[in-house]
Structure 1
């Protein structure tokens, strides 16, 4: 009987964890510490001529990273003042560590001064991201 309770408890815990992760996937969050200095690789990726640069932190064998790249590059192509840069951190774990990134893809929205505006873990939802970025962009087509 105890074995049955252990199995049921494990299943319940797995279900709660799965639902929590699914709800957090792609959600736009405010920057934790917007004035924190960025790692050099990320700071160099910022386009100073763009109002917002989306820096996608990816790894080599990450399937959701390819989907996020498609969403973000399409959004950047059709939005004035928005740039997308994909930064592979497979060989640079110190970048993820300094930024507090626990999963890929994670996307940072940075202004022209390399200040973090917001962050997305997982594959972003284009409409939700565009709404969150609207105050920082000059004009959205």
Structure 2
């Protein structure tokens, strides 16, 4: 009987962890504290672009490919928005400096290098557009 209770407990814990993970995946979070951008990230910024989406990826990350396609399309269709990708597979120092624990993680950074928001996982297109709207030069349609 103890084995049944242990199994039921393990299943319950797994369900709770899964629910929390799904709720956090792709959620847009405002930058809560200023972070000094590491040099490899600063080099990717384009001062004329009001907002740069910096995608932090790793070599064998399937969600990173989906995120790349989504962000590239979004940047192509939105004035003032640029998308760049940084592979942190061999750059754990960059991920650690930014407090990144998973890939993909997307940072929205303004022209001055200030982090506006971040998304862990594949972003929700509508939520990301809504969060970026105040930082872009023209309203997003």
| Shorter-chain TM-score range | over 0.9
Aligned residue number for residue 101 of structure 2: 102
CA distance, structure 1, for counterparts of residue 119 and residue 27 of structure 2? 6
CA shift at 1:46, angstroms? Answer: 1.1
Task: Please list, as runs of the form range in 1=range in 2, the aligned pairs for 1:1-141 lying within 5 A after superposition.
Answer: 1-34=1-34, 36-139=35-138, 140-141=140-141
CA distance, structure 2, for counterparts of residue 33 and residue 49 of structure 1? 24
Q: Give the RMSD, CA atoms, in angstroms.
A: 0.8
Gapped regions of structure 2 (runs ≥ 5): none
CA distance, structure 2, for counterparts of residue 78 and residue 61 of structure 1? 28
CA distance, structure 1, for counterparts of residue 3 and residue 77 of structure 2? 56
Matched residue SS, 1:54: strand
Give the length in aligned residue pairs.
Answer: 140
CA shift at 1:32, angstroms? Answer: 2.5
Deviations 1:20-71 (A, max 9, x none): 111111110011312x211111111111110100000000000000000011
Q: Could you state the TM-score of these two structures normalised by the residue count of structure 1?
A: 0.97
CA shift at 1:125, angstroms? Answer: 1.1
CA distance, structure 2, for counterparts of residue 99 and residue 71 of structure 1? 22
Q: Could you state the TM-score of these two structures normalised by the residue count of structure 2?
A: 0.97
CA shift at 1:127, angstroms? Answer: 1.2
